[in-house]
Chain A
Amino acid sequence: AQSVTQLDSQVPVFEEAPVELRCNYSSSVSVYLFWYVQYPNQGLQLLLKYLSGSTLVESINGFEAEFNKSQTSFHLRKPSVHISDTAEYFCAVSKNQGGKLIFGQGTELSVKP
C-alpha cells in the first residue's frame, strides 16, 4: 500500500525567505506525485505534478518540486515566499493513471511580514 508523510505540520517563515515543505512517500510501484494548495474553506488547487520525464517540476507562481526516487521524496520549495502563499499544502500520490489519491497530513505554511 502507498503512504505519504509530510514531516512538518506547521512551517512559519518570514516574507521573502526561502521555504521547503517536505514530502516522503512509500510505494512498491511507480507513482505519480502531486502538490495541492488549500485556502481556508476552499477546495484543492493543483500546484504541480510529476508524472514522468524531468524530475524537477515547476509551477507558474514560483514553486518547484523535485522527484527523488532513491530517497522517495518530492519536496516542495520556493526561493522567496509572499504573504499570499499562506495556506495548507498537501502532497499526494497515485499509483496509476486515473487512480485515487493518497494524501499526506498537510503542512500549514504561515508567512509573516
Chain B
Amino acid sequence: GAVVSQHPSRVICKSGTSVKIECRSLDFQATTMFWYRQFPKQSLMLMATSNEGSKATYEQGVEKDKFLINHASLTLSTLTVTSAHPEDSSFYICSALWTGNPEAFFGQGTRLTVV
C-alpha cells in the first residue's frame, strides 16, 4: 500500500514556542491531506482538510491562526502549532489520499508534549 511518513514521531517543546509537524506521501501524489488530533483514550477528531495549492479548510472550533497548515506540494503538508500551550499536548495524525481513491493512508502520528 501507499506510504505516508510523519515527522517527528515525538516532540517536547516549551510553552509559548511553535512546533512544526511534517506529513509526506512517499510513493504517491497526495491531492488531499487531513490532520487529526487524538487525546488519550479518545477518538480521532478532524482538525482540517488541505488540498494542494489552496488554503486549508478547518473544522468548527479549530483555530486557524493557531494551527497553521501548509500544503505547498503534492507530497508534503505541514502543521505548525503556534504559541503552544500545555493544553495543545496531544497525538497529531495526518492522512493522505489521491483523487478518486476513497482510502486514506495514515502517518505514524506525532506525540506533542508542551511543558
Contacts and interface: CB of A to CB of B under 8 A. Distances in A.
Interface stretch (B14-22, B64-72, B76-84, B94-102): B94-102
B112 interface: no
B108 A42 contact: yes
Contacts, number: 58
A103 B91 CA distance: 15
30 contacts: A34-B103, A41-B109, A41-B111, A42-B108, A42-B109, A43-B93, A43-B106, A43-B108, A44-B44, A44-B93, A44-B95, A44-B106, A46-B1, A46-B103, A49-B103, A94-B102, A96-B102, A97-B100, A97-B101, A98-B31, A98-B32, A98-B97, A99-B102, A100-B34, A100-B46, A101-B34, A101-B46, A103-B43, A103-B45, A104-B43
B104 interface: yes
A44 B38 CA distance: 12
Interface of B: 1, 6, 31-32, 34, 42-46, 49, 91, 93, 95, 97-109, 111
Interface of A: 32, 34, 36, 41-46, 49, 51, 90, 94, 96-106
Given A98-B32, A98-B99, A101-B34, A45 B106 contact: yes
A102 B34 CA distance: 12
B106 A90 contact: no
A91 to B, nearest CB: 10
B89 to A, nearest CB: 14
A44 B96 CA distance: 12
